[in-house]
Chains A and B, each alone.
Chain A
């Protein structure tokens, strides 16, 4: 009986696809070696949290996954990152197309100084996802519903996005990222500029988003990592120290540095 149960669990883990696979990733900012030998497999339809002290490279690594580091002149990347088995640093891959597939939400809510509608419609318009206005309306509504903000803004879609509260702005940004139908959603400390209520709204949203997307979230809050993620990776000084089920990291860490960090002795 016990054995059968155990087997089923094994199977389920085995069935989960590997969405993103990184091998021996190195990143340099000028002469500064920011990421050292990071290899990690991130699963589909899972929330993966990156934790670690400031400056440990977790955001840098996150930005490698959608090639946002390309926009920084002095950044240089080595190694291999694959999404669905395809090397995203291959010459044939267009970083612009890649970023439509790998959405990103930033630390500080950054709605464009446009209307709420135009904020969400921006991505779909650029990528030609809608045939006509009606379809675009539908995409915007779906995205706003997924961002759990539709009910609050449906009557004022023409109002500027910058006029919303911080939590609403961040959910608008998530809706904006979702609108381009990404497969992966990267979140760089999405709650650090928000108050506790807005934070819990965004966390609920992240929990729902994992049904459709592979979500990677960088966070400074270990409680948040424990609450929302299924997998956790601990970064320290540019190294990936430990990567495992969230529960295991927080209850039974293998590495002494991880233990020191989650118990508050370093970081």
Chain B
């Protein structure tokens, strides 16, 4: 609530700053904007940026940092063994946070008065029952130590909230004052705004990059944690995947990796020829009218959510394959879920990737190449086969690799279409599973998050990340190399 209010105040200050800055600059030249260095709106924007950007940044950083700081200082007080009663500090901290939040809610709902909440004491009141009235359910009775810690937690958070509010408003006002002071006719507001915009853009890209780094780091640390409790050799070289939450599981990645690559291979075998031929037809043979209808139609395929493809695999492709290859005929297939089922559905999903990207690449081949070939008496298909496709090949390979990394990372289709058995087999009509599907199943259970069975998900994710990253880098490298060819 107070954060929304704070944001509104900063926004309002920004708007006021805009008006004042603009007015002040105009007044200095008696309303003649030709005597100003910049257009009046730039003076306004300058004040606006100086008011809002630092204030919002401070607010953001504070909001992220405050819980960590408060947590740490409260936690320091809980080191005493007697408080913990053989429970880990983090479990006690969970209680502390719940009680602290509960008190806040109780006060807000009027179940307790502010003073009552502050002077609460475990001897005279049943804290658990009182908080229950406010709809806050606690797992156990509140011990004095926990209550004390909760009070400390509440106090620190409250102080932090007030300090944040005051400092953010102060910073906004300071920015406003600075911007308004600057608004004189000779001030280069236009350049200042330009710099401001530039820093905003840099900030945005930094956030994007830092998030990526954060994700990778969390993967890396958890992977390291996993390898500390499970030998890396077994993970990479064992051919058995049988996790059991009771312990003694075998977590070999090979069957999963094999399933991933096998399904991806089948998907690419479907998608590459169809996509490529469609691209050739659309870019070289189709009339403008056909192209204007067919190209968007193919690209619609790319907009279908993968869960829908999964349903399609499960309900249509699987039974269809079972009828053709099942026990009634050749007997290769036992159930509807199989590598082939998932592979076909994924192949259909990838067609628009391959065709759309290849189409762009083929169109980028200069018309002069086609003219040159036709001028020598080549037919259209000779021209495509011998001139256009070789010229476009690096780009097409790039498209295929991008499609491949999509296939490797695909989850929903596999979960629904391929089955759940981790198996090393060459028969494409058998059920297998992939790295992604196993990540889902390892993390969606009730597993202890520090066990090897749960942490293996991060190692799997890391492996997958490295593989797809490698493919993407390769694809980018090839595409870039291709671009230089006609320069």
Contact surface of A with B, Cβ cutoff 8 Å = 66, 68, 71, 73, 96-101, 103-106, 108, 110-114, 122-123, 126-127, 162, 173, 176-177, 180
Contact = CB atoms under 8 A, between A and B. Distances in A.
Given A73-B287, A112-B391, A122 B376 contact: yes
Interface in B361-381: 366, 368-379
B374 A123 contact: no
B368 A100 contact: no
Given A73-B287, A113-B391, A162-B485, A176 B371 contact: no
B116 interface: no
Contact of A104 (B375, B379, B391): B375
B274 interface: no
Contacts of A111: 372
A122 B371 contact: no
A178 to B, nearest CB: 11
B377 A114 contact: no
B390 A114 contact: yes
Nearest to B379: A96
Given A112-B391, A114-B390, A99 B366 contact: no
Nearest to B375: A104
Contact of B387 (A96, A97, A112): A112
A98 B378 CA distance: 10
What is the interface of chain B mostly: helix, strand, loop, or mixed?
helix
B448 to A, nearest CB: 59
Q: Which of the listed residues B371, B376, B486 has the most CB atoms from chain A within 10 Å of its own CB?
A: B376
B366 A100 contact: no
Given A73-B287, A126-B382, A162-B485, A110 B369 contact: yes
Given A97-B377, A113-B391, A106 B485 contact: no
Contacts of B485: 113, 162
Nearest to A66: B375
Which 6 A-B residue pairs are closest in the complex by CB-CB distance?
A: A100-B377, A110-B368, A104-B375, A99-B377, A123-B376, A110-B372
Contacts of B486: 113, 162
Contacts of A96: 377-379
B376 A177 contact: yes
A100 B390 CA distance: 22
Name, among A73, A103, A113, the residue most crowded by chain B CB atoms within 10 Å (CB to CB). A113
A124 B28 CA distance: 80
A68 B391 CA distance: 22
